[in-house]
Structure 1
Amino acid sequence: MTEPETSLKPQSRPAEVTAAKPAASAPSAASDSLRRYYAKIQSDLLAQGLLRVDGGGVDTPYSARDLANNFERIVFYDEYARGGGLRNSNGAKASLRRWPGPVRIGVEFGDSVPASLRTSDTATVRGYTARLARLTGHSISFVGVGEATNANFNVLVMGEDDHDQIVRRVREIMPDISATSLGIFQRLPRAIHCLVVAFSRDDGASGYGQAIALVRAEHPDLVRKSCYHEEMAQGLGLANDSPRARPSIFNDDDEFALLTSHDELLLKMLYDPRLRPGMSADTARPIFTKMATELLGGES
């Protein structure tokens, strides 16, 4: 999920990294209940042959025309109404959004998150950040763990027992956040597995300047990793989902858990210098159609 919103420049923070705090106590009954709930969801999806990790194959062909159509639907439309919390978008077209400046990704763990998960997931976020940088050719870097980093893309890995910590950190990162946007983090339904909220720069331009992703710590390993893959990519500007996108994680059918070959091309196209933040779909269409043909060949 991505909900762009214009806001003031976020507070800066020093670049040093602080040590993660140890988990304070045993999980609550509410957290345990969520853990069992999400474990069953993962088990059921795997039993149906979903949550694939192969990136797509001969059974998921796509053409240059498919790629261009999917790019338009995913980049130039919103999944949720801007400033409307979890209210679905009305389907109106949006302008192209991406990060004009460097993206500095930092990860933070809730006090309830065990050390073993912190270690494994830090490695996951660090490695995926490097992959996103290679794919986009953009300045995307991992800047550390904890609150005291200079991150402008904050990945919060927190559980039900970290509710107050989540709200505090969101307020600290975005002091001017709207009540509607803050309410997403305060009252997150369990049907929302993870999310990212991306904010426009303070100059009112169409480029992003800050993003906050929230990944539930109660998820089993594969679902949690799938959250990193989808939300971090969506926070770069692939803001929508489409039922026609395949093979793709930007599709609510859960067929794929991790970024696919198709999705890698979407990221390459999004950060191609021939496109610019603020472009309309009509203006950009001849450009991204040509890109798709260049990448895949054949009919565009």
Structure 2
Amino acid sequence: MRRISALALCLITACAPMPGAEVTKSAALDGRSFAEGGAASPFGMASPIRAERSNTEMARDFLDLAFRMESGRAIAVLSRFEGPITVGVRGEMPNIAAGELSDLLARLRNEAGLDIRTVGADQPAAITIDFVPRAQMRRAVPTAACFVVPGVSSFADYKAARGTAQVDWTQLTRRERVVIVIPSDTSTQEVRDCLHEELAQAIGPLNDLYHLPDSVFNDDNFHTVLTGFDMLILRAFYAPDLQSGMNEAEVARRLPAVLARLNPDGEGRGGQMKTVAPRSWVQAVEQSFGARGGAAKAAAERMVSIANAQGWRDGRMAFSHYALGRAQVTSNPEAAVRAFTRAAEIYRTLPGGQVHGAHVDMQLAAVALSNGQPGQAVQFADRAIPVVRQSQNAALLATLMLLKAEALDAQGKVAEARAMRLDSLGWARYGFGPEAQVRARMAEVAALGARGRRGG
């Protein structure tokens, strides 16, 4: 479940779990509706970060992803589609969705080796993507931005079967029908992100793990499109050595040979096995990103304390410091910078962690701009922008470009600032949606610049 968006400029909040459905992408932080941005995808085909861990680690991650739900419930047997996977669309599909879906399915064929294709609206499909108005979806599932459910082929069917065994993932031994529900009136990037995460979970693992630094199967939500790790996991999920109905022990026995064949570079490499985060730390995450002020800080401090007690030196420790920085960004900017800096130091030692480091740089650029340090803001933005462009996060890219433009203005580089703002507009429309949302983000950044010019 996506409980956190790492994109809010300085104050980041979280959404509570959606009752009655366990695999979702949580709602946008501010709860506002977005209209379709109208911009074509500005990105070419993704160049995903390759999986860089040992196959021993990969095997443990696979089992944790495949045999547990996000809630912690155990899954008794592996379930997947057997045979070709067909994808259909219902409802008012935004204009950009067809292209995004086509690109994603091409990646799933080429990188994950899946036999997957679209079918016409008049044909039955294994996976149905049902686009419904956000307000209609929210009446049934108030906190979800999008979600995936087994056993049904439409949002209406889900509402009728909600709470029954028919839509319980843990009851499956083989996947036959799945519906993905996405708002028809959301931003371009939100549609794309929902397609990536929900289609991957409709096909493959249902769990998210906080210790994965290079995956969308992680509730920190720093990655927004499927990575090389994700594609390798999906390829292994559909290896002929495995089949629906196998229990965890049976899959564990066959998995080393599967991974040796699919990922020879992972053989014979060292690595550190990681255990699933305790529920107490997950609860502290939810509390920190679901609150503000002192409550958020106290929960973030619990995150750091638990991470230290667990002896973590991975992304969970970095995320704990990130949360602590976020919780203090307005009340104690100096402490926030120290926490963000520590988070970035850890993230940059991890495979795929440069994406997380770019998110930290956005926060640091915002703090520097608001504290009257435009030169530092430019440096942070310049370091992050190439990484964010490669990771295809248009909303974060637009935010960084706006921060840089405001910093250039503060340095008297007016022409450069104007050009940077113009360049940011296409990314902003893709990432945030209509002009009103783009102007709102520009106003937020301008307010930080004004605060910096006043002396913080």
Q: What amino acid does structure 2 have at the position aligned with 1:63?
A: S
How far residue 244 of structure 1 moved from its aligned partner, in angstroms, is 1.6
Among 100, 107, 114, the alignment partner of 2:89 is 107
How far residue 36 of structure 1 moved from its aligned partner, in angstroms, is 5.5
Structure with greater strand percent: 1
Number of aligned positions between the proteins? 217
2:72 matches 1:72? no
2:84 matches 1:132? no
- Take 2:67 and 2:96, find their aligned partners in 1: how far apart are those partners? 34
Residue-by-residue CA offset, 1:104-138 (whole Å, 9 max, x unaligned): 1012233xx6xxxx332112112212322334434
Residue-by-residue CA offset, 1:233-269 (whole Å, 9 max, x unaligned): 1001211111122200000001100000000100110
Q: What amino acid does structure 1 have at the position aligned with 2:98?
A: T
TM-score by length of 2: 0.43
**Bigger radius of gyration:** 2
> Secondary structure of the residue that 1:101 maps to in structure 2?
coil
Among 235, 244, 248, the alignment partner of 1:277 is 244
> Secondary structure of the residue that 2:32 maps to in structure 1?
helix
- Take 1:3 and 1:143, find their aligned partners in 2: how far apart are those partners? 27
Indicate conservation of the 8 Å contact 1:75/1:238, yes or no. Answer: yes
Aligned to 2:131: 157
C-alpha change, 1:93 and 1:272, in structure 2 (3 Å) is same
Among 127, 131, 148, the alignment partner of 1:196 is 148
Q: Which structure is higher in RCO with an 8 Å CA cutoff and minimum separation 6?
A: 1
Aligned to 1:34: 32
Q: What amino acid does structure 1 have at the position aligned with 2:129?
A: V
Q: What amino acid does structure 2 have at the position aligned with 1:291?
A: V
Among 213, 218, 229, the alignment partner of 1:246 is 213
Among 43, 48, 56, the alignment partner of 1:55 is 48
C-alpha change, 1:33 and 1:290, in structure 2 (3 Å) is closer
Indicate conservation of the 8 Å contact 1:55/1:247, yes or no. Answer: no
C-alpha change, 1:259 and 1:198, in structure 2 (3 Å) is same
2:78 matches 1:96? yes
- Take 2:91 and 2:230, find their aligned partners in 1: how far apart are those partners? 27
Match runs of 1:247-262 below 5 Å:
247-262=214-229
- Take 2:259 and 2:212, find their aligned partners in 1: how far apart are those partners? 14
> Secondary structure of the residue that 1:265 maps to in structure 2?
helix
Structure 2 gaps of 5+ residues are: 2-20, 24-29, 38-45, 153-165, 271-456
How far residue 231 of structure 1 moved from its aligned partner, in angstroms, is 0.4
How far residue 219 of structure 1 moved from its aligned partner, in angstroms, is 3.1
Structure 1 gaps of 5+ residues are: 5-31, 40-52, 80-87, 167-184
Indicate conservation of the 8 Å contact 1:78/1:94, yes or no. Answer: no
How far residue 139 of structure 1 moved from its aligned partner, in angstroms, is 2.8
Among 183, 193, 202, the alignment partner of 1:216 is 183
Aligned to 2:401: none
Structure with greater helix percent: 2
C-alpha change, 1:94 and 1:243, in structure 2 (3 Å) is farther
Indicate conservation of the 8 Å contact 1:223/1:257, yes or no. Answer: no
Q: What amino acid does structure 1 have at the position aligned with 2:81?
A: W
- Take 1:186 and 1:104, find their aligned partners in 2: how far apart are those partners? 29
Q: What amino acid does structure 2 have at the position aligned with 1:261?
A: G
Aligned to 2:255: 288
- Take 2:174 and 2:111, find their aligned partners in 1: how far apart are those partners? 19
- Take 2:172 and 2:225, find their aligned partners in 1: how far apart are those partners? 31
Residue-by-residue CA offset, 1:43-97 (whole Å, 9 max, x unaligned): xxxxxxxxxx76337xx84222221121111111122xxxxxxxx34x3243111
C-alpha change, 1:107 and 1:69, in structure 2 (3 Å) is same
How far residue 205 of structure 1 moved from its aligned partner, in angstroms, is 6.6
> Secondary structure of the residue that 1:34 maps to in structure 2?
coil
